[in-house]
Amino acid sequence: MKELTHFINGKHVKGTSGRFADVYNPATGEIQAKVPLATPDEMNAAIAAAAEAQPAWAATNPQRRARVMMKFAALIETHMDELAEMLSREHGKTLPDARGDVQRGLEVVEVCMGAPALLKGEYMNDGGPGIDLYSMRQPLGVVAGITPFNFPAMIPLWKMAPALVCGNAMILKPSERVPSTALRLAELAQEAGLPDGVLQVVNGDKEAVDTILDNETIQGVGFVGSTPIAQYIYGRACSNGKRAQCFGGAKNHMIIMPDADLDKAADALVGAGFGAAGERCMAISVAVPVGQKTADALIERLIPRVEALKVGPYTAGEDVDYGPVITAAAKQRIEGLVNSGVEQGANLVVDGRDFSLQGYEDGYFVGPSLFDNVTKDMDIYKEEIFGPVLSTVRAETYEEALDLVITNNYGNGTAIFTADGDTARDFANKVNVGMVGINFPIPVPLSYFTFGGWKKSAFGDLNQYGPDALRFYTKTKTVTARWFSGIKEGGEFHFKAMD
């Protein structure tokens, strides 16, 4: 049995706690490795090592830090296939999806190459009589990233690249379900020229997380996961005086107007709803067709598309649409929610509960399910399913559809499909959601913008990546300077304040 490690001070270090978590292959249900779970003492030691390494890294000029990002990006691209295969083996994603996971993280690293231009302060000459003012952006110090299982490369890179290029040291605590990709990325960052101790990967569970939240050295915490845990981490971090940006769950709606191209809308819903087995915080899980005629025509198009989805292991080739969900517990929960939808009166038009894959009977595969006539009081509408299940809520009017999105507790992403620019503009202006797609089903912004939800999908004032990330990982210092004039008398300078 393979035993994984932590990555501390530039090298792999065995865990000393004696506690381990099993790392599964979701396609087979087999344990493929064990990952150590750090004790508070181990975590605190890693934080202390990061604190020792951080000042020298902060003193490295921004252009040289950006050069490390350049080399890091080149190494990620060189090792793309290796990283994707490693990611698929632990997560279950198809290889194209895994490569996309790495690619979206790589794009943030690429933006960080230009960080020196974004780290500049401001300057005012003669802000007062003989007074100059200027500001500077300085790193927080030691920060932490706590990342989820569903994007083993992308989200760690979203955290580490901006934090590091700003001059911070980082403690990365990846999901114990998918630790290998983060460990490999740490190796590549080291190869790119990152000094020992500036990036530490420490594996662990809640005990490790609580140690991060309570350690006085940690100045900022970034988290992605479920809403209850996001609220917990945000509250505990803030109460301990730390900056925190915590991103939680989602319930993303896509409105389909009567004038929409229904074939394009159906294709978009299938990709956005079932890609990555629905284990995405930006997945579309609720389709909202406007008008009965639109709804009937949309369901007619969706059924054959959903039934034709190919489910299988990543090793089956690139024509597989999605793979298994992450754990047996996740599979059981998803199928339980599908059962509840049937019991509560929704129309299950495509049933994925009895899906079985020959040769992979012990894998965590869930067939695609499509519901029609879902209502707001049903569990499948209220809860984030995080699986390959698409619910259809019929709306009579645009206003009714818009109200569904506005009154939902979550506000991560939403989309509208329409041929009417005025309707699209009205939707974008009125909807209280952080990321909006117009004829675009998964509106994840490009890496030089910024990613973040509203309402119970996000806690904290600043978003992930883009300019917001550099603001989050730095603090502003403003200097007010006045120099006194000198008059030379008898070989000596005498100073007086300027009027």
Residue 2, burial from CB neighbour count under 10 angstroms (0-12, 13-18, 19+): exposed
- CA-to-CA dists, residue 246 to 409, 470, 479, angstroms: 16, 16, 31
Task: List the catalytic residue out of 112, 166, 246, 281.
Answer: 281
Helical packing angle, 154-165 and 62-78, nearest 10°: 160
Q: How far apart are CA 107 and CA 447, in angstroms?
A: 6
pLDDT digit string, tens, across residues 401-451: 999 999 999 999 999 999 999 999 999 999 999 999 999 999 999 999 999
165-174, 261-270, 334-343, 487-496: the lowest-pLDDT one: 487-496
Residue 53 scores a pLDDT above 70: yes
* Furthest C-alpha separation in the chain: 99
Q: Which amino acid is at 350?
A: V
pLDDT digit string, tens, across residues 345-359: 999 999 999 898 999
| CA atoms within a 13 Å half-sphere pointing along the CA-CB vector of 358 | 0
Q: Is 112 annotated in the active site? A: no
User: What's the pLDDT band for 487 if we cut at 50, 70, 90?
Assistant: low
Q: Where are the beta strands (DSSP E) in 37-163?
A: 123-128, 131-139, 142-146
Q: Please give the full DSSP string across 465-476, using - where no structure is assigned.
A: SHHHHHHHTEEE
Q: What is the pLDDT of residue 486?
A: 63
Q: What is the DSSP letter of 86?
A: H
Helical packing angle, 262-274 and 292-307, nearest 10°: 50
Residue 373, burial from CB neighbour count under 10 angstroms (0-12, 13-18, 19+): middle
User: What's the pLDDT band for 484 if we cut at 50, 70, 90?
Assistant: confident
Q: What is the pLDDT of residue 492?
A: 66
Query: What is the topology classification, in CATH, of domain 2-248+457-479?
Result: Aldehyde Dehydrogenase; Chain A, domain 1 (3.40.605)
Q: How far is CA 474 from the centre of its chain?
A: 20
Q: What is the mean pLDDT of residues 259-278?
A: 97
Pairing relation of β-strands 123-128 and 389-392? Answer: unpaired
Which residues of the chain are in CATH 3.40.309.10 domains? 252-438
As given in the structure block, the two tokens for residue 222 are 């970034």
Q: Where are the beta strands (DSSP E) in 273-406?
A: 284-289, 347-350, 369-372, 389-392
pLDDT digit string, tens, across residues 140-185: 999 999 999 999 999 999 999 999 999 999 999 999 999 999 999 9
Q: How far apart are CA 312 and CA 368, in angstroms?
A: 12
Q: Is 402 helix (H, G, I), strand (E, B) or coil?
A: helix
Q: What is the mean pLDDT of residues 472-482?
A: 95
As given in the structure block, the two tokens for residue 48 are 């202390």
**Domain 252-438 homologous superfamily, CATH:** Aldehyde Dehydrogenase; Chain A, domain 2 (3.40.309.10)
197-206, 290-299, 317-326, 425-434: the lowest-pLDDT one: 317-326
What's the mean pLDDT when you consider all of the chain?
95
Q: What is the pLDDT of residue 461?
A: 87
Q: What is the pLDDT of residue 117?
A: 92
In contact, 388 and 284? CB cutoff 8 Å? no
pLDDT digit string, tens, across residues 122-142: 999 988 888 999 999 999 999
Pairing relation of β-strands 243-247 and 347-350? Answer: unpaired
Q: What is the pLDDT of residue 497?
A: 54
Q: What is the pLDDT of residue 495?
A: 58
As given in the structure block, the two tokens for residue 392 are 């259809």
Express as a percent the part of the chain with pLDDT over 70.
97
Q: Which residues are CB-contacts of 126 (< 8 A; sequence separation ≥ 6)?
A: 132
Residue 494 scores a pLDDT above 80: no
Q: Is 45 helix (H, G, I), strand (E, B) or coil?
A: helix
In contact, 273 and 283? CB cutoff 8 Å? yes
Which residues of the chain are in CATH 3.40.605.10 domains? 2-248+457-479
Q: What is the pLDDT of residue 488?
A: 61
